[in-house]
């Protein structure tokens, strides 16, 4: 099973950029080389600002390389939820922002002749059960209220029967890395700078000094475009954001192309679409979203997705080519945080919380942050208050706050009492468990050779206890979503430090 290496990564050639070194100054330091960071940096560099992008790994190696890459204003059934939570006027602002963002992506592709498999298609939300039809009807009413084009359908292009669907025409999809890599060239031509393998260790929020593993960078403005902001104070972002994992697969289907982009109502979530390239057609199928650290280690999720393919697309006989997963940050009211980190840090900005709809929301972030820094006028700035990290939306956020707060309390309680005792001898190959030994709580993993590795079983971000993700063989934090590989190294933040490792002399010593 080919895990982690996505179809997008397999079918694109990444550019190469040096690592940062020395002591330099710039107008804007952008931390994070995904779609948000590169798009924002491009817009700023085109305005003549010296802009430097610092990427800890490779450009586009994070969420950008693992998305479904749907460019759409149709974000499942969000609009009816937003109207209930933040009102019609604010929901109209959200729709306006996404329409503007859609236009920006089209503009950048056209102006720079970017070849990224851009294709126009219809986005559908479908249901197999009649009991969910009212949700589709309510979303149609919400779109009508907002004067957005949409329609209801009894059937669509899916090869299996459904009870109904809600459709938004004239949406699109593309190859996210072909698009991103082309943007890096636009940024370079605008005299922007990109540095890879340049891990930011700390940021002095008052002086604007960014401490990188290769030196220091003095910036007038700093943008955190890292999915989850690794600076979560001030602002208490660690209790205002949680992270969700989802899973995708790709199967080559030379003689079949699914028309439309699809997501279902209810759980488990199923998302599907086709993608065509020079080699033919490919079915992208996935879903099974869950809060990070809350996976159920029963039947592996990728096996469940393959079973969905077998049941829904029985005529596809080719085996699945690739399996990969992604992680998305979600805010309490499910609207992105885009703007100043806090009132106390006027020159530090964040963009996070896209809730799995990062193609348009990343473009929104780029436009808002670029125009906030340049102080130029733009229609997108009419929506910036909606995305302000300082906002307070109790009607929309109360449920998630209770969920997140209770979850954090539960996980901290585990540290003292409720992690079950384990026996190292019972840990099978390829399996990890959290056990107690000599008063310590230890994360223990046995690799395929039978060798053991052991770590402190607490996340290095805010000391939450870890759980083992059987599907991806990783240690995941259920509080704030940090992930660590079986060697204890950070896969994704907000944690920046690896796990504390214990030396095992023999199994009896643990």
How far CA 79 is from CA of 42, 243, 397, 440, 478, in Å, comes to 30, 21, 15, 48, 28
Distance of alpha carbon 62 from alpha carbon 33, whole angstroms: 8
Strand, coil or helix: 405: helix
Largest CA distance in the chain: 68
- Which DSSP state fits 474? E
Strand, coil or helix: 9: helix
Q: Which pair of structure tokens corresponds to residue 64?
A: 């950008």
Report the pLDDT value the prediction gives residue 9, as an integer from 0 to 100. 94
Q: Contact 328/291 with Cβ under 8 angstroms? A: no
Distance of alpha carbon 139 from alpha carbon 150, whole angstroms: 9
List, run by run, the mean pLDDT of 10-residue segments along the chain (510 residues): 78 96 96 96 97 95 91 93 92 94 96 96 96 96 96 94 96 97 97 95 88 94 88 70 88 94 93 92 91 68 93 95 88 90 89 87 94 94 90 56 48 34 68 74 84 84 82 82 87 84 57
For CA atoms 227, 232, 237, 241, give the dihedral sign: positive
Report the pLDDT value the prediction gives residue 416, as an integer from 0 to 100. 32
Task: Give the pairing of strands 22-31 and 51-54.
Answer: parallel
* Cβ neighbour number for residue 503 with a 10 Å cutoff: 8
Any idea of the CA torsion for 287, 292, 294, 296, to the nearest 10 degrees? Answer: 40
Q: Which pair of structure tokens corresponds to residue 34?
A: 């995904």
Smallest CA-to-CA distance from 198 within 180, 212, 183, 210 is with: 212
For CA atoms 5, 285, 139, 267, give the dihedral sign: negative
Report the pLDDT value the prediction gives residue 444, as an integer from 0 to 100. 85
Q: Contact 158/126 with Cβ under 8 angstroms? A: yes
Smallest CA-to-CA distance from 480 within 492, 468, 498, 469 is with: 492
Enumerate domains of the chain plus CATH numbers: 418-505 (2.102.10.10)
Per DSSP, what are the bridge partners of residue 264? Answer: 126
How far CA 496 is from CA of 65, 200, 203, 484, in Å, comes to 21, 9, 13, 10
Report the pLDDT value the prediction gives residue 304, as an integer from 0 to 100. 92
Distance of alpha carbon 152 from alpha carbon 148, whole angstroms: 13
What is 172-217 written as a DSSP string? Answer: EE--HHHHHHHHHHHHHHTT-EEESS--EEEEETTTTEEEETTEEE
How far CA 451 is from CA of 55, 368, 438, 442, 510, in Å, comes to 33, 50, 21, 16, 13
* Cβ neighbour number for residue 254 with a 10 Å cutoff: 10
Strand, coil or helix: 168: strand
Instruction: Measure the CA angle with vertex 459, ends 458 and 462; round to 5°.
Output: 105
What is 63-80 written as a DSSP string? Answer: GGGGS--EE-S--TTHHH
| Strand ranges of the sheet holding 483-484, from the earlier edge strand across to the other edge | 467-469, 474-476, 483-484, 490-492
Smallest CA-to-CA distance from 308 within 167, 171, 158 is with: 158
Q: Which residues lie below 8 Å from residue 364, measured CB to CB, with a gap of 6+?
A: 97, 98, 100, 101, 336, 338, 380, 383, 387
Distance of alpha carbon 176 from alpha carbon 59, whole angstroms: 12
Run of H or E residues at 454? strand 452-456
């Amino acid at each position: 099973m080919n895990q982690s290496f996505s179809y997008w990564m397999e079918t694109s050639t990444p550019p190469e950029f040096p690592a940062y070194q020395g002591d330099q100054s710039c107008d804007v330091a952008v931390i994070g080389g995904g779609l948000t960071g590169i798009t924002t940096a491009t817009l700023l560099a085109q305005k003549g600002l010296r802009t430097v992008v610092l990427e800890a790994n490779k450009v586009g190696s994070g969420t950008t390389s693992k998305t479904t890459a749907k460019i759409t204003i149709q974000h499942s059934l969000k609009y009816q939820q937003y109207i209930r939570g933040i009102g019609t006027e604010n929901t109209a602002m959200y729709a306006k922002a996404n329409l503007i963002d859609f236009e920006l992506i089209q503009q950048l592709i056209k102006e720079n002749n970017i070849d990224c498999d851009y294709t126009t298609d219809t986005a559908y939300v479908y249901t197999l059960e009649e009991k969910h039809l009212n949700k589709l009807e309510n979303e149609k009413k919400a779109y009508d209220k907002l004067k957005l084009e949409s329609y209801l359908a009894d059937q669509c292009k899916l090869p299996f029967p459904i009870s109904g669907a809600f459709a938004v025409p004239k949406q699109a999809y593309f190859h996210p890395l072909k698009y991103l890599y082309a943007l890096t060239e636009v940024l370079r031509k605008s005299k922007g700078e990109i540095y890879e393998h340049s891990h930011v260790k700390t940021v002095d929020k008052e002086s604007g000094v960014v401490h990188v593993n290769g030196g220091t960078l003095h910036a007038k403005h700093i943008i955190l475009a890292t999915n989850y902001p690794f600076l979560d104070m001030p602002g208490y972002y660690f209790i205002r954001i949680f992270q969700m994992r989802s899973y995708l697969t790709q199967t080559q289907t030379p003689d079949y192309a699914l028309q439309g982009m699809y997501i279902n109502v209810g759980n488990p979530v199923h998302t599907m679409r086709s993608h065509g390239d020079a080699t033919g057609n490919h079915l992208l199928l996935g879903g099974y979203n869950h809060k990070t650290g809350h996976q159920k280690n029963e039947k592996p999720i990728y096996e469940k997705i393959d079973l969905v393919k077998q049941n829904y697309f029985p005529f596809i006989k080719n085996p699945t080519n690739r399996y990969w997963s992604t992680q998305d940050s979600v805010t309490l009211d499910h609207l992105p945080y885009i703007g100043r980190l806090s009132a106390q840090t006027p020159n530090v900005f964040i963009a996070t919380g896209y809730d799995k709809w990062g193609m348009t929301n990343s473009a929104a972030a780029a436009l808002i942050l670029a125009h906030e820094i340049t102080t130029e006028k733009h229609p997108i700035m009419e929506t910036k208050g909606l995305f302000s990290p300082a906002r307070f939306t109790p009607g929309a956020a109360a449920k998630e706050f209770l969920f997140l707060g209770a979850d954090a309390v539960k996980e901290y309680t585990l540290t003292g009492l409720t992690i079950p005792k384990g026996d190292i001898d019972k840990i099978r190959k390829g399996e990890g468990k959290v056990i107690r030994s000599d008063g310590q709580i230890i994360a223990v993993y046995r690799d395929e050779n039978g060798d053991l590795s052991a770590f402190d079983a607490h996340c290095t971000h805010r000391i939450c206890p870890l759980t083992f993700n059987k599907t991806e063989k990783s240690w995941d934090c259920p509080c704030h979503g940090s992930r660590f590989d079986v060697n204890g190294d950070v896969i994704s933040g907000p944690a920046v430090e690896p796990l504390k490792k214990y030396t095992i002399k023999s199994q009896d010593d643990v």
